[in-house]
Amino acid sequence: MASDPNGPLLLLNARLADGRQGVRILIRDGRIAALEEGAAPAGETAAAAVFDLAGDLVLPGLVDGHMHLDKTLMGLPWTPHAAEPDRSSRIANDERLLPTLPLSTEARAGHLIRRSVAHGTAHIRTHVDITPAFGLSALEGVLAAREAHAGAVTVQIVAFPQAGVMRHGPRAVVDLLDAAVRAGAELVGGLDPCEIDRDPRGQLDAIFGIAERRGVGVDIHLHEPGELGLFSLQEICARTTALGMQGRVTVSHGFCLGGIAESKQHAAAEMMAAAGVALATHGAGGATLPPVMLLRRAGVRVFCGNDNVRDTWSPYSTGDMLERAAIIGWRADLRHDPLLEELFAMATSEGAAALGITEYGLAPGRPATFFTLPAENIPDAIGAHPPRRLVFHAGRLVARDGAYCGPGQEPLKAG
């Protein structure tokens, strides 16, 4: 039956990840009012719109901790991939192709947001290109898409210098990044300080300077391999510690961690844990995978994201974080149930903590932000990643049977 946005909702016959079945979930004022086994008290059923889940598993909203909403080609007919494998070619392709597309950044980002929500994603961190070629135009489009879909998902924005920082002169990109933060970006980004700028001190001083001055976090793309990447990582950790920014800095990708000796992996993990620097990974198939479990055992926060979703950099991905978790688990050889449950945490609670989502999870009093699917447990949900049946955000039904029905534009089928 259709939900009443102004009244309580009751979900019956839910299955929870802890094994409980026949659970009822009462939602009132956008929050979980009750999460209990057994029949509902007298009067509760009559007061609420009712959904019978028929044993479907209920899981907390997924967190996509690394995305590029501004680059997506979602909403367009199939567009053949045109860039060469190197980053410089992909950057040049962005500058050539994106301004010619028949859909705006806002429209394309909206398509991807709705698709992600239909897959159960509740929170997104997106990197948005801030470059001399685009100025703040991509940011403006993503900000508009975020506003249009408020109430169905949260979107956190990183001002991302995709074309480098110092190579364009000492102030051009730095001033743009600062303006982006003032315009609404919550973090400042960076990119391969040695390889792209050939000036690691200049880039890191610039982006950490903005972060300190504006009171925002940092999320740096680090593709640099081996010892070169390790040097950049050491510099990032040193600045994080010196500025007291523990818990507010993320290294995205960190491919270098998968290409160094095990003894150095352990040392780097201990360094990151001490500095409070997190790692975001998408399990890139063409690069070395960071030792995610080694990092977690050392106390490093590791979380996951889809990265590029059918965009100018990659024709792959559907925006489904359970599918992404399956890819990462396959690459990391995570097979046993306890490891798959840790992997699920990397796609949910660990990402929520990294994004600063303070009220997260399935518990009375917390926002009713979760999804349902036909699965027995978390490992089954990751391994099969079946279609999502119902998706709620803060008590609002925002997707049903793969179709988006929240605020924004036209319904979109998940695929």
Q: Which pLDDT value is given to residue 46?
A: 59
Q: Which pLDDT value is given to residue 4?
A: 47
Contact 218, 190 (CB under 8 A): yes
3-state secondary structure of 376: coil
Q: What is the DSSP string of 315-343?
A: S---S-HHHHHHHHHHHHT--SHHHHHHH
Cα–Cα distance, 215 to 211 (Å, whole number): 5
Q: What is the DSSP string of 259-323?
A: SS-HHHHHHHHHHHHHHTEEEEE---TTSPPP-HHHHHHTT--EEE--B--SBSS-S---S-HHH
A 10 A CB-CB count for 178 gives 21
Rank 165-169, 285-289, 378-382 by mean pLDDT and report only the highest: 378-382
Percent with pLDDT over 70 in the chain: 95
Nearest to 73 by CA among 284, 305, 282, 315: 315
Question: Per-residue pLDDT tens for 221-238?
Answer: 999 999 999 999 999 999
Q: Which pLDDT value is given to residue 340?
A: 98
Threshold 0.85, pTM exceeds:
yes
At residue 286 the predicted structure's pLDDT band, cuts being 50, 70 and 90, is confident
In the 8-state DSSP scheme, what is residue 257?
Answer: G
Cα–Cα distance, 270 to 292 (Å, whole number): 13
Contact 321, 122 (CB under 8 A): no
